[in-house]
Structure 1
Amino acid sequence: MKRNFTFLFTLVFALVLLTACSGEKGASSDPEKSDNGNNGKSNEELTLTYASVTDAVGLSPILMNDSASANITDHVYEKLFERNPNTMEYEPVLAESYENPDENTWVIKLREGIKFHDGTPFNAEAVKYTFDKLRDPATAAPRASLLEPVDTITVKDEYTVEIKTKYPYGVFLASLAHTNAAIVSPTADQKQDLMNSPVGTGPFQFVSWVPGDQIVLKSNPEYWGGEPELKKVVFKVVPEVSTAISMLQAGEVQFLDNLPTEQMKRIESLKNVEVQKVDGTPVYYFTVNHAKKENQDPEFKKALASAIDRDAFVSKLNGLGFRSDSVVGPKVFGYQDSADKAGTPYDVENAKELVKKNGYDKRPLKLLTANRGNFQLMAEIVQSQLTEAGFNVSIESMEWAAFLDSARAGEYDLSFLSWSNITGDGSELFYPNFHGDNVGSSNRAQYSNAEFDKLVDSSRTTVDQNERQKFLNQANELMLKNDDVVVMYHGVVTVALNNDYTGLVLDPNGKWDLSKVTRK
């Protein structure tokens, strides 16, 4: 009896030991490894992984100018103001309030008691440091133009900054709400490279970056707005969209954005995913190269506009775009619904008559397009429509960077261009894209019209918002009347989020906020 008991005890002990050893080998006590978003149930270490088709370029808001980088910096840094995606009004964030003693003066009162992630204080000196560096020509900041009208920046006291502009600047709040106007830690900027190791005041702190693989953020326990329930965010580089969708289905990633038209049915069929769609600020348009004299012929532009059936194209977008002739979209300041149908209507017979009358069919035309997403689809459909009208059009397709360079240099006859409009302000659509000041740089349409420029300048140099609205509408109607562009569609911004999560805020400009995300 004693012998049997000893054997039984030994056997049970061995099984317990074996089970314990197996558990140590197959699991991890590291919460970062044991909870990859869907698998864990505790909000204490709640993780979300986002799949990005491209890696970030850099993580300093002063020096970067790409959406992949902005997705990270928007969670690490904060701006003085932010546009409310529901009301479209600009609301204080790091600022507490502001006043305009006169048209050229902005006195901004800052929130008190906020610290950067490195423990240094956020104050008026930090604002002055950031803005001075952003507008310093030696910095070569890609969006220095945001503060081009600024004349002086003065620290009045620890939490008050006075900014004087060279002229009344109606777009100022929109500029201060831009990603590139986020406030950096002066101490960190002088000590390290913020492009690789960012330090802001935001809800998330930088942890690590493995180039080409992933960037990791963690929640900021000292965040002035309250620590996020989401404790870890992984920005995972997944170059192939189809692979990213498979990872979303498998629960390996929990979040995608910019959902491709051709994959929408597949994504919407996933049972573990919720798709959000919001009518957005991006606009996609067809243009001639206005620098070429022959393209300034009014009947040439009229024939092109008459030949393009925008409705036929929009129907191919699976709900990811909507039709409006207006260059300024419904989610952008300056929009008037009277412009929705102000463009030249589709009339292929009229187009044929103009082509035959003027001999436009005898001139070969190069249609320049980017080789990605809807640009290629637009090119194929519009080439077919222009050919039906009698034009002789060939497509030249380029990868994105080369396309932008060629468009900037004016190496095309016809093209498709786009603008996301982060600020949501019509002046910040018209000025960079169509003002004569920017031909050869951001004005890739090579558009130059003195009457138009005067209207845009007026929209920028008054702080009376009703007056600004009037000038923007006049500029919009002028372009449409002259067929200077043909608006193909306005974008619908999209995200797909694992349905275990809730609280994601999606802005019409395509940006999103993870600070309120939690598990259902």
Structure 2
Amino acid sequence: MKKQKFISLTLLIFTGILLMAGCSDKGSGEGTSGSREAPSEITYATTSDAAGLSPIDTNDSVSSNVTYQVYETLFRQNPETLEAEPLLAESYETPNENTWEIKLKEDITFHDGTPFNAEAVKYTFEQLKDPERAAPRASLLEPVESIEVKDEYTIVLKTEEPYGPMLASLSHTNAAIVSPKADKEGNINKKPVGTGPFVFEEWAEGDHITLKKNEDYWREAPEIETVTFKVVPEVSTAISMLETGEVQFIDKIPSDHISRVESINNVEVQKAEGTRVSYLGFNMEKEPFNDLKFRQAVSYGLNQEAYVSQLNGLGLHNESIIGPKVFGYNEEAKSAGYEYDPEKAKQIIQENGYEGQEVTLLAANRDNYMKMAEIVQSQLTEIGINASIETMEWASFLDTARQGDYEMTFLGWANSTADGSELLYPNLHSDNIGSSNYMRYDNSEFDQLVEESRTSVDQELRKEKLHEANLFAIEDAPMIVMDHGMVTLAHHESVDGLVVDPTGMWSLYPVNRK
């Protein structure tokens, strides 16, 4: 929009009168160069509603986008280096390999006015570990044997064995500290109460979630007054709303739509290599999926490059479960998977009596998972396996997959800690069957390797053990990597300070509207 260099005094006075009278029309004639909202407001379009708003009780990226603005963790990852830095913590020390003494920042309150202190941290971590609560990311603190309050602002975590990824785990969104009072007296999965820069306002399920600026935030208050998470199930509709200014940003842009988004005037696009891995998982408690021969046949029959080639540059082909941006990656694992060989796949199927095998592919109703399902269905048909596709809405899909009520499914892991131990342990260690180990994989040899990668503070040794565990899982194939993703985000040019990091997370705290 061109700016006039000279405006008469009369026009300025007239404009001021109109504004005071409330006669301005925010949306008319602005197209993509303006916004239908006041500059102090920002709206994000999400294709799925949150599963919940408690960091203890959820484990999905849609929910985390909201909780990341409301709650805070003791440590946070530097968005550039992905190394842990203090947030609610002031400092820490390790008197010995099994003890972490963490000093907390003082004079911080939760949104309900109750104090943030060591008792609140102890309560949160005990809830995260409580078997009855069955937190999906209890694995973050599984090695912690005791949680002690040394004084009002000092918490002591003790482990039975050294725990190498401790700071990475304490930086994870699901290790965020909740208000004990709010959790005891209400339902923080519906009405979250944290210490973060934004305060929960309302949740109209299936439509929107609204947050308000935390005027009493312990750091400088954010500039954005109101944040709206708008549920827009159709990606094309969300993009149209970005184009017209009804929403100011979107993320996780599907590959089929990236060129359209990049062509919109006054919209800026961020793309970078990320930590996310997407994969095809087998239910290891059901036949024939618990047969290595069957999994090998599927592995030989899948051409992941055919899928990646359709991602328009938003995915990378790499056989390694641990991706290049994640701690523990070794280049040797890049080509360690089963190469694409449909003839060999057919031979294994015929030799083991699996010709014509009926299987169901469970997929969440998201563009990327649906694309995976369609490609895999076609490729399985070519090698003699009859695959059908079952689709579900996101929250229902998560419940179904967690309960093991499927045969084969498509999943992703954001790798929010960017640590290989916190990829392999929650997804494939037998401790987490029924929670984050959707494949229900149970292998003692693999478990031992992963445990060795966690129970050391020697980072080079951890890398060695992670590489061994990674190669083991690739060969045993409880999951087959489909791609390692790129992180994407598109925002209107009026939005300043919004950056997506390699884990796919973004904070609205530093954001303002120009």
Considering the TM-score relative to the shorter chain, is it more than 0.5? yes
1:427 is aligned with what amino acid? Answer: S
Question: Which position in structure 1 is the counterpart of 2:177?
Answer: 183
- Provide the rounded CA distance (Å) in 2 between the counterparts of 1:402 and 1:481: 31
Question: Which position in structure 1 is the counterpart of 2:279?
Answer: 285
Other structure's SS at 1:505 match: coil
Question: Which position in structure 1 is the counterpart of 2:222?
Answer: 228
Deviations 1:446-467 (A, max 9, x none): 3222211110121222232222
State the Cα distance separating 1:356 from its structure 2 match.
4.6
State the Cα distance separating 1:251 from its structure 2 match.
0.6
The reply to whether residue 153 of structure 1 matches residue 147 of structure 2 is yes
The reply to whether residue 26 of structure 1 matches residue 23 of structure 2 is yes
2:426 is aligned with what amino acid? Answer: P
Pick from 381, 386, 391: which aligns with 1:393? 386
- Provide the rounded CA distance (Å) in 2 between the counterparts of 1:386 and 1:204: 47
Residue 261 of structure 1 contacts residue 317 of structure 1 at CA under 8 Å; is this kept in 2? yes
Question: Which position in structure 2 is the counterpart of 1:332?
Answer: 326
1:63 is aligned with what amino acid? Answer: D
- Provide the rounded CA distance (Å) in 2 between the counterparts of 1:225 and 1:22: 33
Other structure's SS at 2:92 match: strand
Question: Which position in structure 2 is the counterpart of 1:103?
Answer: 97
Identity of counterpart residues, as a percentage? 54
- Provide the rounded CA distance (Å) in 2 between the counterparts of 1:62 and 1:289: 25
- Provide the rounded CA distance (Å) in 2 between the counterparts of 1:512 and 1:457: 31
Question: Which position in structure 2 is the counterpart of 1:435?
Answer: 429
Residue 37 of structure 1 contacts residue 48 of structure 1 at CA under 8 Å; is this kept in 2? no
Question: Which position in structure 1 is the counterpart of 2:162?
Answer: 168
State the Cα distance separating 1:471 from its structure 2 match.
1.1
Pick from 64, 68, 76: which aligns with 2:62? 68
Question: Which position in structure 1 is the counterpart of 2:120?
Answer: 126
Question: How many residues align structurally?
Answer: 495
- Provide the rounded CA distance (Å) in 1 between the counterparts of 2:406 and 2:49: 30
Residue 136 of structure 2 contacts residue 435 of structure 2 at CA under 8 Å; is this kept in 1? no
Other structure's SS at 1:512 match: coil
Deviations 1:201-252 (A, max 9, x none): 2222233444443333233344333222223222223233222221111111
Residue 255 of structure 1 contacts residue 497 of structure 1 at CA under 8 Å; is this kept in 2? yes
Deviations 1:412-439 (A, max 9, x none): 5544333222222222221222222334
TM-score (norm 2): 0.86
Moved more, 133-142 or 420-429: 133-142
Moved more, 400-409 or 366-375: 400-409
Residue 273 of structure 1 contacts residue 498 of structure 1 at CA under 8 Å; is this kept in 2? yes
Going from structure 1 to structure 2, the CA distance change for 1:379 and 1:210 (only over 3 Å counts) comes to closer
- Provide the rounded CA distance (Å) in 2 between the counterparts of 1:407 and 1:207: 31
The reply to whether residue 260 of structure 1 matches residue 254 of structure 2 is yes
1:162 is aligned with what amino acid? Answer: V
- Provide the rounded CA distance (Å) in 1 between the counterparts of 2:290 and 2:324: 28
Other structure's SS at 2:279 match: strand
Other structure's SS at 2:355 match: helix
- Provide the rounded CA distance (Å) in 1 between the counterparts of 2:192 and 2:283: 40
Residue 282 of structure 2 contacts residue 478 of structure 2 at CA under 8 Å; is this kept in 1? yes
State the Cα distance separating 1:477 from its structure 2 match.
0.8
The reply to whether residue 313 of structure 1 matches residue 312 of structure 2 is no
Written as runs of structure 1 = structure 2, the 5 A alignment for 1:34-49 is 38-39=34-35, 46-49=40-43
Question: Which position in structure 2 is the counterpart of 1:205?
Answer: 199
- Provide the rounded CA distance (Å) in 2 between the counterparts of 1:433 and 1:22: 56
Residue 280 of structure 2 contacts residue 409 of structure 2 at CA under 8 Å; is this kept in 1? yes
Moved more, 116-125 or 83-92: 116-125
Residue 344 of structure 1 contacts residue 483 of structure 1 at CA under 8 Å; is this kept in 2? no
- Provide the rounded CA distance (Å) in 2 between the counterparts of 1:399 and 1:46: 36
Structure with the higher fraction of residues in helix conformation: 1
Gaps of 5+ in 2: 1-12, 27-31
Residue 373 of structure 2 contacts residue 389 of structure 2 at CA under 8 Å; is this kept in 1? no
Aligned-residue Cα RMSD (Å) equals: 3.1
Moved more, 241-250 or 115-124: 115-124
TM-score (norm 1): 0.85
Moved more, 363-372 or 72-81: 363-372
Pick from 433, 458, 463: which aligns with 1:464? 458
Other structure's SS at 2:486 match: strand
State the Cα distance separating 1:515 from its structure 2 match.
1.1
Going from structure 1 to structure 2, the CA distance change for 1:72 and 1:413 (only over 3 Å counts) comes to closer
State the Cα distance separating 1:94 from its structure 2 match.
0.8
- Provide the rounded CA distance (Å) in 1 between the counterparts of 2:59 and 2:287: 33
Question: Which position in structure 2 is the counterpart of 1:378?
Answer: 372
Pick from 340, 345, 348: which aligns with 1:346? 340
Other structure's SS at 1:26 match: coil
Deviations 1:12-70 (A, max 9, x none): xxxx99x9799746349x9xxxxx9945999xx62211122333344333334443332
The reply to whether residue 488 of structure 1 matches residue 485 of structure 2 is no
Going from structure 1 to structure 2, the CA distance change for 1:490 and 1:24 (only over 3 Å counts) comes to same
- Provide the rounded CA distance (Å) in 2 between the counterparts of 1:502 and 1:235: 18
Residue 321 of structure 1 contacts residue 491 of structure 1 at CA under 8 Å; is this kept in 2? yes
Going from structure 1 to structure 2, the CA distance change for 1:101 and 1:399 (only over 3 Å counts) comes to same
Residue 279 of structure 2 contacts residue 410 of structure 2 at CA under 8 Å; is this kept in 1? yes
Going from structure 1 to structure 2, the CA distance change for 1:433 and 1:92 (only over 3 Å counts) comes to same
Other structure's SS at 2:127 match: helix
The reply to whether residue 517 of structure 1 matches residue 511 of structure 2 is yes
1:89 is aligned with what amino acid? Answer: E
Larger Rg: 1
State the Cα distance separating 1:357 from its structure 2 match.
4.7
Going from structure 1 to structure 2, the CA distance change for 1:197 and 1:409 (only over 3 Å counts) comes to closer
- Provide the rounded CA distance (Å) in 1 between the counterparts of 2:37 and 2:409: 50
Residue 206 of structure 1 contacts residue 217 of structure 1 at CA under 8 Å; is this kept in 2? yes
- Provide the rounded CA distance (Å) in 2 between the counterparts of 1:154 and 1:356: 59
Question: Which position in structure 2 is the counterpart of 1:53?
Answer: 47
Other structure's SS at 1:114 match: coil
Moved more, 71-80 or 429-438: 429-438
Going from structure 1 to structure 2, the CA distance change for 1:287 and 1:25 (only over 3 Å counts) comes to closer
Going from structure 1 to structure 2, the CA distance change for 1:265 and 1:119 (only over 3 Å counts) comes to same
State the Cα distance separating 1:315 from its structure 2 match.
0.7
- Provide the rounded CA distance (Å) in 1 between the counterparts of 2:382 and 2:37: 59
Going from structure 1 to structure 2, the CA distance change for 1:412 and 1:94 (only over 3 Å counts) comes to closer
2:386 is aligned with what amino acid? Answer: V
Going from structure 1 to structure 2, the CA distance change for 1:172 and 1:353 (only over 3 Å counts) comes to same
Residue 61 of structure 2 contacts residue 414 of structure 2 at CA under 8 Å; is this kept in 1? no
Question: Which position in structure 2 is the counterpart of 1:81?
Answer: 75
Going from structure 1 to structure 2, the CA distance change for 1:409 and 1:396 (only over 3 Å counts) comes to farther
- Provide the rounded CA distance (Å) in 2 between the counterparts of 1:141 and 1:383: 33
Question: Which position in structure 2 is the counterpart of 1:113?
Answer: 107
Moved more, 78-87 or 185-194: 185-194
- Provide the rounded CA distance (Å) in 2 between the counterparts of 1:499 and 1:280: 23
- Provide the rounded CA distance (Å) in 1 between the counterparts of 2:54 and 2:105: 22
- Provide the rounded CA distance (Å) in 2 between the counterparts of 1:358 and 1:56: 43
